[in-house]
Amino acid sequence: MAQLAVNGGNKACEHAWPTWPIWGDEERKGLNDVLESGQWWYGEKVRKFERAFADFQDAKFGVTVCNGTVAIEAALTTLGIGAGDEVIVPPYTFVATASAVMRVGAAPVFADILPENLCIDPADIEAKITEKTKAIMPVHLGGHIADMDALNDIAAKHGIPVVEDACHSWGSQWKGKGTGALGACGVFSFQASKNITSAEGGIVLTDDEDLADRCRSYTNCGRAEGRPWYEHHRLGSNLRLTEFQAAILLAQLTRLETQTLKRQANAAVLDETLSGAPGITVLTNDVRMTRRSYHFYTFRIRPGELGVGREKFIEALAAEGVPASPGYSIPLYKNPVFYHLDEEPAARSFADSVDYAKVCCPVCEAVCSDAVWLPQAFLLADEQAVRDAAAAIVKVCENIGELR
């Protein structure tokens, strides 16, 4: 009889995995309080959440916005980055990391990632810096913090800021300090899939009061603190969060610490079990990262050793009851948007000088074909369920011959 469920064997996991989002009476009460107050717009709850989340991440200032993408745009604009500039970014990330750079008129320059944690490679950043480079934007992928010591050293050497794309790292800590203010500033997303969510929303964190004030002005139509409402001091935009979103986020924040620790503990179970599995490479956590949020859990398969590709491997996991996905299947620079820059008004300043078809980041290209993701809600399951899922992954590896 076949061992693997995909071939008719017994299914290894019969668990009903946690779904996302998780909510309760806290969200219900917060929303109802806002509804009945009649104060729906950019008020007390927004200010309260900004302070609470900044405190949670060990930052001095927080400026909320309507989503994580515009949080990046706001941060870059506030730093004076625009047409003719370059920002170094990783290619293994959501498109907004690079598209937000383009939206402010600057050119994203792709530096490769490290194979052990999938975060941007400091050595490749050094190789990509030019006189046009105006910022480095690491992504703390899946909650794993990029090497902020090395990145801040590079930034100081070249006189450029580090802008953290921290959209996967609510609760992650580097040497005991939360992400978001480890560089000049950092941005977070509260989109529907994120570990703390209000369906959409975002925030810019920083320890720099002047930067926070300028960012606030930009996101609030160019207004200045203490000046008349219809007096506009900067070319700004309207990126404000609503009281309804803030009410949900305040409720979500009450669970984030406990959920973060549970995800971290379950990830350790996976690390322990999968480390000895044939054909699997477990990623490495930097010891300077004192807490990790785990927006997803990632491991890599070795297709040459297993004799099958990722698609068949994930199909077999699904049959065993393990909710896995391939994650990012192509590097950002292989997306069609980067091949017709002449059609994008925001890219006019660099469309003639950049050819993304010539970009190659070898580590990223390998990871795009061999990484496997387990979702963040999965990591909120009971420990025994996670152990069963880990055993199911090992089962597939040990019976991989059935898939060839």
Give catalytic residue positions. 94, 165, 168, 191, 194, 223, 230, 240
Residue 144 DSSP label: P
Residue 240, classed as helix, strand or coil, is: coil
- Look at residues 157, 122, 137 and name the one whose alpha carbon lies nearest to residue 85: 137
CB count within 10 Å of CB 153 equals 12
Angle at Cα 188 formed by Cα 130 and Cα 357, nearest 5°? 40
Residue at 365: amino acid letter? E
**Which tokens belong to 203?**
């925030």
- List strand residue ranges (DSSP E) for 170-288, in order: 173-174, 177-178, 185-189, 202-206, 280-282
Separation in Å, CA 129 to CA 142, 342, 371: 26, 24, 28
Give the sheet arrangement for strand 107-110, strand by strand. Answer: 107-110, 86-89, 133-136
With beta carbons less than 8 A apart as the criterion, state whether 73 and 104 touch: yes
Query: What gap in Å lies between CA 81 and CA 328, rounded to an integer?
Result: 27
Inter-residue contact 398 to 278 (CB < 8 Å): yes
- 44-56 vs 243-274: helix crossing angle, rounded to 10: 20
* Single-letter amino acid, residue 35: L
State which H helix or E strand residue 271 sits in: helix 243-274
Answer yes or no: are the C-beta atoms of 4 and 319 closer than 8 Å.
yes
Q: Tell me which residue of 160, 21, 146 sits closest to 85, measured CA to CA.
A: 160
For tokens 């107050």, name the residue: 37
